[in-house]
Amino acid sequence: MLVVPMLSEALAVIDHQVLGWHLAGPRLVFQIGSTARRPCCPRCHNSRVRRHGHYQRHPSDLPSFGTPVTLDVEVRRWRCMAPGCGGHTFSDSMGSFVQPRSRYSVRSRVALEHLGCTSGGQAGARLSWSLGLRAGADTILRAVHALPPPAIGEPLVVGIDDWALARGHHYGTIFVDLQQHRPLDLIAGREMTEVRDWLAQHPGIRVVARDRAGAYGQATRQALRERTAIPP
């Protein structure tokens, strides 16, 4: 076993260890193996499993002193021997360190997300190569697009206006967060009760900007008695 600071500790958490390393062109390659003796079947949680071969994975990890790092991981495959499990086969898991089928460790993927969010695809890709992460613009953009949307807090300042479902015939109402500059909701009608009920469901709203429609004014007055409504 080889102790590599910042890598061995992370691998120990998921029952893996560094077995060796070598240079392959511009890359630093660490051989990684599991330390778990025999896993339990993830389907039936039985420990009656038999070795069923192995394969190699090569995810990229964070660079070391600017040198790109690749992990050469031996992934063991297992077959469950428990009656009733149907000979289920499964592989060693790298848990939260490398997600299944990912080409990057979780921590290097987080670094790519930061690059994408701050610099965009093309500039982020150029930065990633200079830093030793070596990702293309498509990879960085995919990482950013896979991020969960930011949590939307309770709006404070809301704009209300109508929008045409069928111009001249049927109109709905749009609610916009005027601080975040993003739409909050669409409803199919513009009746006073519909708008009032929507506003009542958002007790954090303090200021409403609305157009001259009488229904909007009435809805705002009823729902936000103690709040501030801005007429046009």
User: What tokens does 209 get?
Assistant: 């900007």
Q: Which of residues 10-69 bind Zn ion (CB under 5 A)?
A: 41, 43-44
Stretch that binds Zn ion, among 16-24, 77-85, 110-118, 172-180 (CB under 5 A): 77-85
Place of tokens 């460790």: 105
Among 11, 32, 80, 205, binds Zn ion (CB under 5 A): 80
Q: Quick one: 17 exposed, middle or buried, by C-beta within 10 A (0-12, 13-18, 19+)? A: middle
Q: Which of residues 87-106 bind Zn ion (CB under 5 A)?
A: 88
Stretch that binds Zn ion, among 66-74, 75-83, 129-137, 172-180 (CB under 5 A): 75-83
Q: Does 81 bind Zn ion (CB under 5 A)?
A: no
Report the distance separating Cα 139 and Cα 22, nearest Å. 26
Q: How far is the CB of 88 from Zn ion (least distance, A)?
A: 5
Q: What is the CA 10 to chain-centroid distance, rounded?
A: 21
What is the chain's Cα-based Rg?
A: 28
The count of chain residues that interact with Zn ion, using the rule CB under 5 A, is 7
Among 14, 40, 82, 209, binds Zn ion (CB under 5 A): 82
Q: Is the separation of the CB atoms in 60 and 133 below 8 Å?
A: yes
Q: How far is the CB of 84 from Zn ion (least distance, A)?
A: 8
Report the distance separating Cα 223 and Cα 202, nearest Å. 10
Q: How far is the CB of 63 from Zn ion (least distance, A)?
A: 39
Q: Which is nearer to Zn ion, 45 or 58 (CB)?
A: 45
Q: Which is nearer to Zn ion, 88 or 202 (CB)?
A: 88
Q: Which is nearer to Zn ion, 27 or 88 (CB)?
A: 88
Among 29, 85, 137, 144, binds Zn ion (CB under 5 A): 85
Q: Is the separation of the CB atoms in 21 and 2 below 8 Å?
A: yes
Q: How far is the CB of 39 from Zn ion (least distance, A)?
A: 11
User: What tokens does 188 get?
Assistant: 């199919």
30 closest CA partner among 74, 71, 62, 63: 71
Q: Which is nearer to Zn ion, 85 or 157 (CB)?
A: 85
Q: Which is nearer to Zn ion, 88 or 142 (CB)?
A: 88
Place of tokens 């093309």: 122
Q: Identify any residues that bridge with 23 across adjacent strands, giving them in sequence order.
A: 28
Q: Provide the binding-site residues for Zn ion, judged by CB under 5 A.
A: 41, 43-44, 80, 82, 85, 88
